[in-house]
Amino acid sequence: MLVARSQLGSVVFWMIGAILSFSATAVSVRQLAATFNIFEILAIRSFGGLVLMLTILAARPQYMHGLTYPIGLHVIRNSVHFVGQYTWALSITLLPLATVFALEFTMPGWIALLAWPMLGERMTLSRAGSIVLGFVGVLIILRPGLEAFRPAALLVLFTAFAFALALIATKKLTAVATTYSIVFWTMALQLPMALAGSDLLFFLRFESMTLVPAITIGLAGVASQFCLARAFQAGDASFAIPLDFLRIPLIALVGWMFYAEPLDIWVFAGAAVTIAGVIWNLRAESRRS
């Protein structure tokens, strides 16, 4: 199927915004980790995002319509998503950035596996194949039994699982809730969760060197979700998701330039196998559609 040039341009534009936002979030976590614990970093992210969402609400009061419905599902989704956010941010401080991003791409495999019992979606050959290739990719990256294996990498696999559960809940929410309400409650509900593990006076530890990453993580948290949603509105997932894989070489370059992280060929090889499975399933799903 041919894609209009304007449509493809819109997808590329918004996906670049999402990629840069995700990368900026990861770098901000690294910078803030020297001063704040993970709960405090997530509190900064949620507070900044909530301020932005309330500003939007003040300018567009019509977004108040249906904001609290269905609050129960919002709570369940954000409880799971917060756990994933915590383990993701923690893994950013323990592992090379490229390793975290590569292992995070096992999430589509988890979604395919979980959507079968939870959403009643059938398990097709391409979905099963993407799960198998994702598992093979993980083995290549982790190399269990070898000296290169890092137990902290298991945190990222758990993160991908938690994010998959959250995305399934998001899929249910999109049928009854607005995009604004989903993002709003992401910030509003996760802020008190983060504050529960924070020093009540942690804001007193702010210094000039922490202000930029603090502002960045708040803005990037909202921008990544907004850009991703706009990319999917502009074109099919089969066009948008493969562009998201550019996150891996970009963040690997950032890690190499700013944190002296080696460019691990096994990470790229494992990511390639995982990505091949995702693309295979996307193409098959597109043909079925």
pLDDT tens figures, 21-59: 999 999 999 999 999 999 999 999 999 999 999 999 999
- For residues 129 and 45, give the distance between their C-alpha atoms in angstroms, rounded to a whole number: 36
Rounded to the nearest integer, the mean pLDDT of the chain is: 87
pTM of the model: 0.86
> How confident is the model over 132-151, as a mean pLDDT?
78
% the chain with pLDDT above 90: 51
Angle at 256 between CA 279 and CA 104, to 5 degrees: 35
Residues 15 and 241 sit within 8 Å (Cβ to Cβ): no
Range of the domain at 178: 5-288
Q: For residues 226 and 103, which has the higher predicted lDDT (pLDDT)?
A: 103
Pick from 11-15, 51-55, 234-238 the range whose average pLDDT is largest: 51-55
> How confident is the model over 261-278, as a mean pLDDT?
90
Residues 102 and 271 sit within 8 Å (Cβ to Cβ): yes
3-state DSSP call for residue 105? coil
Is 205 a residue whose pLDDT tops 50? Answer: yes
Looking at the 3D structure of the chain, how many domains does it have? 1
Predicted confidence at residue 216, as pLDDT, reads 95
Phi and psi at 199, nearest 5°, equal -70, 130
> How confident is the model over 184-201, as a mean pLDDT?
95
- Residue 113's pLDDT band (cuts 50, 70, 90): confident
